[in-house]
Amino acid sequence: MASTRRLAAIFAADVAGYSRLMGADEEGTHERLQAHRRELIDPKISQHKGRIVKNTGDGLLAEFASVVDAVRCAAELQRVMIDREAGMPEDHRIRFRIGINLGDVIVEDSDIFGDGVNVAARLEALAEPGRGCQSSCCPLPISAMIRSSNILRTA
Amino acid sequence: MASTRRLAAIFAADVAGYSRLMGADEEGTHERLQAHRRELIDPKISQHKGRIVKNTGDGLLAEFASVVDAVRCAAELQRVMIDREAGMPEDHRIRFRIGINLGDVIVEDSDIFGDGVNVAARLEALAEPGRGCQSSCCPLPISAMIRSSNILRTA
């Protein structure tokens, strides 16, 4: 089976403590998450020329043609989410973890696969809630923006 | 936002040690996995009247209208996978973990959400490679088939 490959900035996001939040308030959490998706996240990804590859229940996998766009998108999302969840009690807040990696992905139909995708998911799992984690292969000039918006850089 | 709900047997499957397998042989693992999906797993799920809700890179989320169908499907998949991977060295084998849970899911468009889905994913993570793990709310009469096919039952 022939595979196509391409370079992509891979963006993985999920909700920290999703099972706990769903256990405490299943329909409320679900509806609030869907509203964040519809009103903020999906439009913001489009605005930064990203493409949502798949939804994962409590998050998504997206790809961007530019790492700068991906990091800028993550930074803006996290900033706006603080305001959107400010009225909720601390332990009920929906907070995203975001992982960004630059990878040479395997492309099939509209799906992407490969080590680069797995690493993005692992970086996401390492990210603190409300923050992001990007691999060191992402370019350096964005560091000022990263610092200003709580997007962490890892080795 | 109105939500529809329905009872479903939720079936979550993924590949044990997928990141390690992809790290060792990215394209080979990917192509073998896609062949298993195309030739065995997707047709077997259809045959048992299941519906694939989404693909997750190294696995899938499916729903069945019957728990018996879901467990039978899992058992058959695991049996056939033993033969399909018999020629590979032990540490290169693709082995699925399968979690099955009966849940009252939130349905939106063609996607499903809710505690029931999260529990299926957690059962899957508990399953041994090549085996399955189902919740105790699944009906009892299938236990003979479960024993005969390495599908475990948990409390």
C-beta neighbour count of B126 within 10 angstroms:
13
Q: Give, in degrees to the nearest 5, the angle at Cα A117 between B28 and A33.
A: 140
Q: Where are the beta strands (DSSP E) in chain A?
A: 4-15, 51-55, 59-64, 96-108, 111-113, 132-134, 151-153
DSSP state for residue B87 in the 8-state scheme = T
Residue B145 banded pLDDT, cuts 50, 70, 90: low
Distance, in Å, from the CA atom of B131 to the CA atom of B153, rounded to the nearest integer, reads: 10
CA distance A125 to A139: 21
Contact B36, B117 (CB under 8 A): no
pLDDT of B131: 83
- Residue A59 is encoded by which pair of tokens? 């998050």
Of B151 and B143, which is predicted with more confidence? Answer: B151
Q: List the single best residue of B14, B30, B58, B117 to mutate versus A (max A Cβ within 10 A).
A: B30
How many CB atoms sit inside 10 A of residue B117's CB? 25
For residues A21 and A106, what is the distance between their CA atoms, to the nearest angstrom? 34
Binned at pLDDT 50, 70 and 90, residue B116 comes out as very high
Q: Specify the amino acid at residue A98.
A: I
**What local confidence, expressed as pLDDT, does residue B26 receive?**
94
Q: What is the pLDDT of residue A149?
A: 57
What percent of chain A is modeled with pLDDT above 70? 86
Q: Are B152 and B132 in contact (CB under 8 A)?
A: yes
Nearest to B22 among A35, A55, A118 (CB): A118
pLDDT of res. B114: 93
The structure's pTM equals 0.83
Cα–Cα distance between A122 and A18 in angstroms, integer? Answer: 17
When pLDDT is averaged across residues B82-94 and rounded to a whole number, the result is: 94
What tokens does A6 get?
């391409």
Interface ipTM = 0.75
Q: Residue A114 is nearest to which of B22, B111, B118, comparing CB atoms? A: B22
- The pLDDT score that the predictor gives to residue A143 is 44
The residue assigned the tokens 């299943």 is A26
Provide the mean pLDDT of chain B: 87
Cβ distance A35 to B117 less than 8 Å, yes or no, reads: no
**Amino acid found at B39:** E
pLDDT tens digits for chain A (155 residues)? 557 999 999 999 999 999 999 999 999 999 999 999 999 999 999 999 999 999 998 999 999 999 889 999 999 999 999 999 999 999 999 999 999 999 999 999 899 999 999 999 999 998 889 888 887 666 543 444 545 555 665 54
What is the mean pLDDT of the segment spanning B139-150?
A: 49
pLDDT recorded at residue A152: 60
Among the partner-chain residues A30, A61, A114, the one whose CB lies closest to the CB of B113 is A30
CB A3 to CB B108 under 8 A? no
Per-residue confidence (pLDDT) for residue A133, from 0 to 100: 83
